[in-house]
Amino acid sequence: VQLVESGGGLVQPGGSLRLFCAASGVVFSNYAMSWYRQAPGKERELVAYITSSGGSTNYGDSMKGRFTISRDNAKNTVYLQMNSLKPEDTAVYYCNARGLVREYWGQGTQVTVSS
């Protein structure tokens, strides 16, 4: 099983980024998918969650209205569109796949918001 994140980078405050997480080795449509993030010296926190069908989503409080999670089960990919980025959004962003029995993590992608 492999989850590979991409799309991170350096962006100015107020800018946008789109993160991608490509899954392989799993029946992707069986897994709820989430994005988490971890900033230096802080605990990992939930960014966004989407059910296996894509019919329902949930967001961390500070992300609501700015971030959008979506998925394409035909492409085994989950996306995170991040708008109106703030310096406090700087963190490593991780993709998570959660099934009935197991969960998997990606290696993370760095997002840095700075002028």
What confidence tens digit (pLDDT) does each residue in 33-64 have? 999 999 999 999 999 999 999 999 999 999 99
In angstroms, rounded to a whole number, what is the distance separating the alpha carbons of residues 17 and 55? Answer: 23
In angstroms, rounded to a whole number, what is the distance separating the alpha carbons of residues 111 and 88? Answer: 10
In angstroms, rounded to a whole number, what is the distance separating the alpha carbons of residues 46 and 50? Answer: 12
Give me the pLDDT at residue 51, please: 97
CB-based contact 51:69 (threshold 8 Å): no
On the question of pLDDT at 105 being above 90, the answer is yes
Within 10 Å of residue 11's Cβ, how many Cβ atoms?
Answer: 18
Residue 112: half-sphere exposure toward Cβ, Cα within 13 Å: 6
On the question of pLDDT at 104 being above 90, the answer is yes
Tell me the average pLDDT of the chain.
Answer: 96
Give me the pLDDT at residue 11, please: 98
pLDDT band for position 1 (50/70/90)?
A: confident
